[in-house]
């Protein structure tokens, strides 16, 4: 499953993501991972969640992000939920077509590996393409 939290900057995307992480923790049957660009969520995310800074790994494209997610899962088959805060920042690109393709890849990856994705995307909902909106 892929769920996108879509909204303009300052609309509460990260707050909604934190709420969703809390809900996932309450019913967790496996490991939970949260990927962000920097270290802003260090004190907001429970210590039970593996918090990863994309900056520490040089993630700068959607292709790299796919490989990174694949590697995370390859190293820990118990991952049941992956959260990504601010997809465009993490991937280093605001290209909507690439983002939509990444979301479709997440859907396929999640189905094959029983991993749920929740991803915040900072974008005007009216300007977002259908490939992004369909996951909202």
For 55-75, the pLDDT digits (tens) are 999 999 999 999 999 999 999
Instruction: Supply the pTM of this predicted model.
Output: 0.95
For 5-59, how does the pLDDT look when each residue is reduced to its tens digit (9 = 90+)?
999 998 999 999 999 999 999 998 899 999 999 988 887 888 999 999 999 999 9
Q: Which fold is adopted by the domain 2-123?
A: Rossmann fold (3.40.50)
Tokens, residue 110 = 């999640």
Two tokens at 104?
């479709």
Q: Which residue has the tokens 């996951």?
A: 135
């Amino acid at each position: 499953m892929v769920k996108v939290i879509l909204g303009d900057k300052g609309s509460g995307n990260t707050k909604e993501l934190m709420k969703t992480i809390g809900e996932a923790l309450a019913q967790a049957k496996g490991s939970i991972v949260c990927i962000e660009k920097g270290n802003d969520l260090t004190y907001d995310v429970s210590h039970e969640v593996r918090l990863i800074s994309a900056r520490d790994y040089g993630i700068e494209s959607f292709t790299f992000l796919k490989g990174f997610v694949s590697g995370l899962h390859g190293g820990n088959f118990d991952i049941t939920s992956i959260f990504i805060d601010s997809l465009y920042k993490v991937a280093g690109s605001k290209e909507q077509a690439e983002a939509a393709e990444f979301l479709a890849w997440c859907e396929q990856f999640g189905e094959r590996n029983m991993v749920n994705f929740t991803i915040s995307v900072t974008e005007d909902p009216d300007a977002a393409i259908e490939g992004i909106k369909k996951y909202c």
